[in-house]
Structure 1
Amino acid sequence: MDKNLLRTVIADQEYYFEQAKGSVKREFPANFRVAPEIVIITGIRRCGKSTLLQQIRTGQSEKDYYINFDDERLMSFKVDNFQLLIEVFHELFGEQKTFYFDEIQNVEQWERFIRRLHDTGNKVYITGSNARMLSRELGTHLTGRYLSCELYPFSFREFVLLKNPRVLGENLYKTSVKAEVVSLFHDYLHNGGFPNFIKTGDELALKTLYENILYRDIMVRNNITNEKQIRELVAYFAGNYARLSTNSELAGIIGVKNASTVKKYIGFLADSYLVFQTNKYDYSVSKQILNPKKTYFIDNGLVRRIGFSFSDNSGHLLENLVFIELLRRGKKIYYHKKKLECDFVLVEDNTVTYAIQVCHVFSSEKVKQREINGLLEAMNAYNLQKGLIITDDTEEEITNDNKKISILPAWKWLL
């Protein structure tokens, strides 16, 4: 690795970093700024991690060092080049004590260097686009030395802050304001929250993002040679998200010999934050593992651009959106299924604490009663007194056998 190349990369990145200031303040734990631990921010590619780093840097008074390893000029950068990088930083900016490393998972064995930086009294922020880096890379070398948070594409509130922040200071039940919020919600429901796509509407850029995730974060990182099988698996999930499936069924669909291969592939997709799966809640962990799983996508806008749908799928889009929002809120999520179904049950300390049903529209009284009954079955199974049904635009309170069910419009729940 050449010093002059590093100087050029650092200077170029610093310039573009300053030019690309984000207009929406991302949510971030305030205590992370002052904590002595290494701060690790993970999330899918292009969800706004670099923008968040910029916002953190802007809020700090001290000078610092920054580099983004998602740069083709740094493809040959190895762990033993870090010392050279430090020398270049010192030559350019003098000695500083705060480091920002973007997309550090591109450097093998990076955690050894980061540990040394931390142990010598430096403050370190890093980002990565792979969930596995929190377990595999950090488990041995950085245990007890880091704080982590996961970043997702824009929440609905962040989406509104970008599109029309004025409405958040208004009475949401004022006719004109509510109409604007509902319109924004339908935009968000169908187009998702990837920051660049929301700002530009560039469909090609969103599809290119998917190709980069598939190729760089999934296939190359995991040395996958059978591209066809991975593409078919993603295509199936993109057309059948928020639905149940088993690994055996999926093996037959994509043409692999055994379910263990499918399980491995799904793990790779999950590591890249492209898809997530939920288990059926059961007191037996083995039964949780054996039962069919529900699969969800990171973003509605992305899944609509890579999937095939020949009918209105607003119901599944809403369920997918609610699932991602629950993840964003740090919830541990399962589904309930006995005689009836409930979309989500939330678990804390091995106890179900809340049940949520999602129904886009009550198209008939029969549909409404079916959704209520599914929620009530879950509430009775786990001795819950309160439950929630999230809809497109219905608001109501129901009491059934001393159990309270709130029916809320999704836009109100999200805000």
Structure 2
Amino acid sequence: MKQLLKDIIIDQKSFLPSKKTIIRSFSEKYLNNEEIIIISGVRRCGKSVLLQQIRDRLPQKDYFFNFDDDRLGNFTVENFQQLYEVFIELYGEQNYFYFDEIQNIVGWEYFAKRLYNSGKKVFITGSNARMLSKELGTYLTGCYIAIELYPFSFSEFLDFREQQHLLGDISGTIARGEIQSAFNDYLKQGGFPIYLKSEDGIVLKTLYDNILYKDVMVRNQIVNEREVKELVYYTVSNIGKPLTYTSLAKVIGVKNSTTVKNYLEYIENTYLLFSLSKLDYSVKAQLRNPKKVYAIDNALVSRLGFHFSGEEGRLLENMVYIELRRRGGEIFYHNSGSAECDFVVRDGFRVMQAIQVCYLLDSSDTREREIRGVQDAMDTYHLLEGTIITNTHEEEVKYGDKMIHILPAWKWLHL
């Protein structure tokens, strides 16, 4: 095993990111604090590149190992000590460890905790949210900081296309037209680096298949491929619509709603889909209420044959949801029975934002409905400001001592 590990380390050391890499956001404070840094996110969102960028900013960078290697089929937690010994043989004693896709090894947290206890700095990436499960979190309590990485933000998308200058002076008609055009591209192309490099739908299809088969079905020993594929297809085709486990069970033809709940949990663990709950201060009611489902990236939604009504509006709502996740905070939807607001964001026990998404405010009925929804959330949670995100419309609506900001999505993304 030690010779195999040595061969893999040497092979992987020759890996270099492509010349065109975008510097991902990563706080300087995480580089030299004591905690284990766990970077999780969907496959191919850029975790490995970020890990390389972190290595480049630190004085010791040789203890790197990628566990997503077919030669490691027999690697177990007992082999970590051998890996450590090989590192020392090759490079001498060092204090920084970089482990890519470590979730493939059952029990990895024990080795990470041992390194932490001995004063080593550990950076870890993984493609499964189960890495941060309750059990693991309990074992590593106080020892780690979790960071979720997503496909490119709009700013990173512009950086990739060498159009970052568009976020400069946007006062003129031409400048606003250019940034609106770039946003329209981002809305449909999404932010997966691997897709943006080629714009080849086969790349997306391969990524989707790998997530579905390797990360969902094989990992969770699911034998009914049809049920899982139909569940993903239906939920993505109904982005942002209230769904219940019972209704989904009927759609995909399973008798037990618990099966659907389990399937969705497995899928969410891969970061492919996310479920959104209605904000209710009764935990039981929150669990009982319908969920809304959103997808990790608009390219997967728009390029893989999913079809739904009001495509631009659904894509915009999906994009806003992912951006809210990127910014942090607990996200819910609001429904009082008489009005609904797409997103409310809570920090601790207090709701801080109410956000409505509407691609076009093109009729008086639509305008009235969208304003009423955000007003209802503002009144419920005692907010003085609310936001309606549109494609191009910009306006401020005042009522009483409160203000609703209506603004184009590209401008909101730049805030």
1:363 aligns with 2:372: no
| SS class of match (1:219) | helix
- Do 1:21 and 1:54's aligned partners in 2 also have CA atoms closer than 8 Å? no
Contact persistence 2:61–2:97 (CA under 8 A)? no
Pick one of 251, 254, 265 that aligns with 1:253. 251
Structure 1 position 278, deviation (Å): 1.1
**Unaligned 5+ runs, structure 1:** none
Equivalenced residue count is 413
Cα offset, 1:21, TM superposition: 5.1
Q: Show the 5 A alignment for 1:8-407.
A: 8-16=7-15, 18-20=16-18, 23-136=21-134, 138-168=136-166, 170-309=168-307, 311-337=309-335, 338-407=337-406
Specify whether residues 264 and 314 from structure 1 end up closer, same or farther in structure 2 by C-alpha distance, changes over 3 A only.
same
Cα separation, 1, equivalents of 2:175 and 2:92: 52
RMSD value, Cα: 1.5
8 A contact 2:66–2:101 mirrored in 1: yes
SS in structure 2 opposite 1:12?
A: helix
Q: Output one character per residue of 1:286-342: Cα deviation in whole Å (capped at 9) or x when no partner.
A: 111111111100100012233431655100100000000000000211111121211
Superposed displacement of residue 353, structure 1: 2.0
State the one-letter code of the partner of 2:185.
D
| Counterpart residue type for residue 113 of structure 1 | F
CA contact (8 A) 1:238 1:306 kept: no
Measured against aligned partners, the alpha-carbon deviations of 1:342-394 in whole angstroms (never above 9, x if no partner) come to: 10111122222221100001121221121111111111122211100000011
Once the two structures are overlaid, the 10-residue window that deviates more, 221-230 or 118-127, is 221-230
For 2:154 and 2:89, the matched residues in 1 are separated by 44
**Any idea what SS the aligned residue of 1:276 has?**
strand
Structure 2 residue ranges without an equivalent (≥5): none
249-258 or 3-12: which moved more?
3-12
Moved more, 38-47 or 340-349: 340-349
| Off by >4 Å, runs of 4+ in structure 1 | none
CA deviations 1:244-279 (Å, max 9, x no partner) are: 100000011111111111111111111111111111
For 1:98 and 1:267, locate their aligned partners in 2 and report how far apart those are by CA, in whole Å. Answer: 34
Change (3 A) 1:21 1:87: farther
- Displacement of 1:29: 2.3
Partner residue of 2:413? 414
List per-residue Cα deviations over 1:139-177 (Å, max 9, x = no partner): 243111111110000001110111124424630222222
Change (3 A) 1:144 1:22: farther
Residue 273 of structure 2 aligns with an amino acid whose one-letter code is: V
Please say if residues 166 and 175 of structure 2, whose CA atoms lie closer than 8 Å, have aligned partners that are also in contact. Answer: no
SS at match of 1:153: coil
Under a length normalisation based on structure 2, what TM-score does the superposition of the two structures give?
0.96
TM-score (norm 1): 0.96
Which amino acid letter does the alignment assign opposite residue 391 of structure 1?
T
CA–CA separation in structure 2 for the residues paired with 1:202 and 1:10? 32
Q: Give the partner amino acid of 2:340.
A: E
Decide whether the 8 Å contact of 1:79 with 1:108 is kept in 2: yes
Identity across the alignment (%): 52
What is the CA–CA distance in structure 2 between the aligned matches of 1:255 and 1:169, rounded to whole Å? 48
Indicate how the Cα distance of structure 1 residues 140 and 354 shifts in structure 2: closer, same or farther if over 3 A, else same: closer
Distance 1:345 1:100 in 2: 37
Deviation at 1:5, TM superposition (A): 2.3
Deviation at 1:19, TM superposition (A): 4.1
**In the alignment, is the contact (CA less than 8 A) between 1:22 and 1:51 conserved in 2?**
no
Q: 1:21 to 1:89 in 2, by over 3 A?
A: farther
**In structure 2, what residue type is equivalent to 1:191?**
Q
